[in-house]
C-alpha cells in the first residue's frame, strides 16, 4: 500500500460529524414545516417554481441537486480501486449486500407494508409511487455520509475510501437496470427514457465534473482539495434543505391531511436499515473480517445515497409524488438510526473479535 494512498484514506475518513450533519433530522423537520407553510401561504408561487422545467427536469431543483451532489462526489478517489485486493472478504460483503440483497429487500418490504399492511390508510393512487420511492432508496448505497460513520466507528480509512470508489463505479452501470427491474416486478410502469436521463444527469455528468475539479485541485496539492471541500461542504447540505423546502411546498396538503403517512413510510425504511446492518455485520464476522473493516462495510449498506434518490424521484414522478415523499422520509430517519448503529458496532467490538483469529 502506497504512502500517498494511506494519507488520502486517512484524510477522507477522519473528519468528525459536522454540526449540520449531526442535526440533519432536525433541519429536515424544520424544512417540512417551512415548505408546508410556504405551499399553504403562497400556492401560486410554489406552482410557478414547479413549472420551471425542461424535458421534465425542474431547473431550480436540478441546479440545487448538482450543488448538493458534486461536493460529495469530489471525495471519491478512483485511484484507490487497486486496494480492493487488500480486503477481499470485506469488499465482497459490501458488494453482495449493496447490490444482491439491499434493493430487493427494500422492494419486498415496500410490497408488504405499502401494498398490504398500511394500504387501507394510504392514498390508493399513491401506493405505486410510494413503493417506487422506496426502491430508489434501496438501490442507492451511501456515498458521502459513510465517511462520517466510518470515522465514528473507528473504521479503516483506506477501506472506506476504496469501497466508496468501487460502489460508485458499480452504481454508474447498475442503478438504472436494478431500479427498472424492481419497478417492473412491482407492476409499476418503467419510464426508461426519464430513468436513463436521471442517471446521466445525476450520476454520470456530476461524477465527471467532480472528478475534473478534484484533479485540478490535486495539481495544487492535497491541502488545496481539503480546503475546497471544507469551504463547499456546507453548501451541499443547504442545497439539500432548499430542495426539501420546495418539495414540501407541494406535499404540505397531503401531510396536513394525513400526518401518519410519514410514520407509515418510515416503518419499512427502518426495518430495512436494521436488517441490512445486521446482515452485513454478521457476514463480516462469519468471514473473520477485521472489525475496523467490518464497521464501514456495514455502514455503507445500511445508509443510503438519499440525495440521488430524492433527485431521481423528483425527475421521474414529480415534486408532489409519493415517491419524492418516501425518499425524504429516508432522509428524516437516517441520521438518528445510523448514529445508533455506530454505537452498536462500537460497543460490540469485543463480542465481534471473539470470532477472529488471535492474530487479527
193, part of any domain: yes
Q: What is the mean pLDDT of the chain?
A: 83
pLDDT at residue 36, as a whole number: 84
HSE (side-chain half, CA atoms, 13 Å) at 137? 36
Residue 242 neighbours by CB under 8 Å, 6+ apart: 64
**What's the CA gap between 282 and 351, in Å, rounded?**
11
Evaluate whether residue 356 is within a structural domain: no
**Per-residue pLDDT, 286:** 95
CA dihedral sign, ordered 89, 90, 96, 99? negative
pLDDT at residue 14, as a whole number: 47
User: Residue 134: what pLDDT?
Assistant: 96
Task: With respect to residue 24, please indicate whether it lies within any of the assigned structural domains.
Answer: no
Instruction: Please indicate, yes or no, if residue 39 is contained in any of the structural domains.
Output: no
Range of the domain at 305: 55-346
pLDDT for position 2: 42
- Tens digits of per-residue pLDDT, 3-37? 444 444 444 444 555 676 667 678 878 887 888 88
Residue ranges of the chain with per-residue pLDDT less than 50: 1-14
Instruction: Answer whether residue 3 is part of any domain.
Output: no
In a domain, 133, yes or no: yes
Say how far apart CA 249 and CA 246 lie, in whole Å.
5
User: How many degrees, rounded to 5, is the angle at CA 341 between CA 337 and CA 344?
Assistant: 140
Tell me what pLDDT residue 339 has.
83
Domain count, the chain: 1
Per DSSP, helices labelled H in 113-221 are 127-138, 145-152, 157-185, 192-199, 205-218
pLDDT at residue 1, rounded to an integer? 40
Cell of 166: 468501487
| pLDDT, position 120 | 94
CB 120 within 8 A of CB 262: no
Residue where the block lists cell 454478521: 282
pLDDT for residue 9: 45
Query: How far is Cα 60 from Cα 132, in angstroms, rounded to an integer?
Result: 23
First to last CA, the chain: 18
What pLDDT is attached to residue 132?
94
The CATH number that applies at residue 100 is: 1.20.1530.20
- The DSSP element (H or E) to which 57 belongs, if any, is strand 57-58
Domain presence at residue 42: no
| pLDDT reported for residue 7 | 43
∠257-262-265 over CA atoms, to 5°? Answer: 130
Q: How far apart are alpha carbons 192 and 129 in whole angstroms?
A: 16
- C-alpha span between 277 and 298 (Å, rounded): 5
Residue 270 counted as domain residue: yes
Q: How far apart are CA 333 and CA 134, in angstroms?
A: 13
Amino acid at each position: 500500500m502506497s504512502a500517498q494512498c494511506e494519507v488520502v484514506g486517512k484524510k477522507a475518513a477522519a473528519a468528525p460529524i459536522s454540526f449540520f450533519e449531526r442535526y440533519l433530522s432536525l433541519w429536515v423537520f424544520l424544512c417540512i414545516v417551512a415548505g408546508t407553510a410556504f405551499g399553504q401561504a403562497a400556492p401560486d408561487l410554489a406552482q410557478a417554481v414547479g413549472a420551471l422545467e425542461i424535458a421534465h427536469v425542474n431547473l431550480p431543483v436540478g441546479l440545487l441537486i448538482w450543488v448538493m451532489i458534486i461536493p460529495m462526489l469530489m471525495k471519491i478517489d478512483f485511484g484507490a480501486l487497486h486496494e480492493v485486493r487488500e480486503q477481499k472478504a470485506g469488499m465482497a460483503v459490501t458488494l453482495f449486500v449493496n447490490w444482491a440483497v439491499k434493493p430487493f429487500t427494500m422492494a419486498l418490504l415496500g410490497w408488504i407494508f405499502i401494498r398490504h399492511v398500511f394500504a387501507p390508510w394510504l392514498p390508493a393512487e399513491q401506493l405505486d409511487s410510494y413503493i417506487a420511492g422506496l426502491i430508489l432508496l434501496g438501490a442507492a448505497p451511501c456515498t458521502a455520509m459513510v465517511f462520517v460513520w466510518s470515522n465514528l466507528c473507528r473504521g479503516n480509512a483506506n477501506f472506506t475510501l476504496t469501497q466508496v470508489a468501487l460502489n460508485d463505479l458499480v452504481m454508474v452501470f447498475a442503478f438504472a437496470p436494478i431500479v427498472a427491474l424492481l419497478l417492473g416486478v412491482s407492476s409499476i410502469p418503467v419510464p426508461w427514457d426519464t430513468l436513463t436521463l436521471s442517471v446521466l444527469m445525476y450520476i454520470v455528468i456530476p461524477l465527471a465534473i467532480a472528478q475534473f475539479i478534484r484533479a485540478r485541485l490535486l495539481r495544487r496539492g492535497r491541502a488545496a482539495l481539503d480546503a475546497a471541500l471544507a469551504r463547499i461542504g456546507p453548501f451541499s447540505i443547504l442545497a439539500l434543505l432548499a430542495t426539501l423546502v420546495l418539495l414540501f411546498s407541494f406535499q404540505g396538503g397531503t401531510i396536513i391531511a394525513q400526518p401518519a403517512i410519514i410514520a407509515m413510510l418510515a416503518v419499512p425504511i427502518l426495518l430495512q436499515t436494521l436488517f441490512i446492518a445486521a446482515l452485513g455485520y454478521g457476514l463480516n464476522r462469519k468471514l473473520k473480517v477485521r472489525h475496523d473493516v467490518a464497521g464501514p462495510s456495514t455502514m455503507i449498506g445500511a445508509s443510503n445515497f438519499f440525495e440521488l434518490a430524492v433527485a431521481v424521484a423528483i425527475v421521474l414522478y414529480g415534486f408532489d409524488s409519493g415517491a419524492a415523499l418516501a425518499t425524504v422520509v429516508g432522509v428524516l430517519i437516517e441520521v438518528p438510526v445510523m448514529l445508533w448503529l455506530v454505537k452498536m458496532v462500537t460497543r460490540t467490538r469485543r463480542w465481534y473479535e471473539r470470532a477472529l483469529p488471535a492474530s487479527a
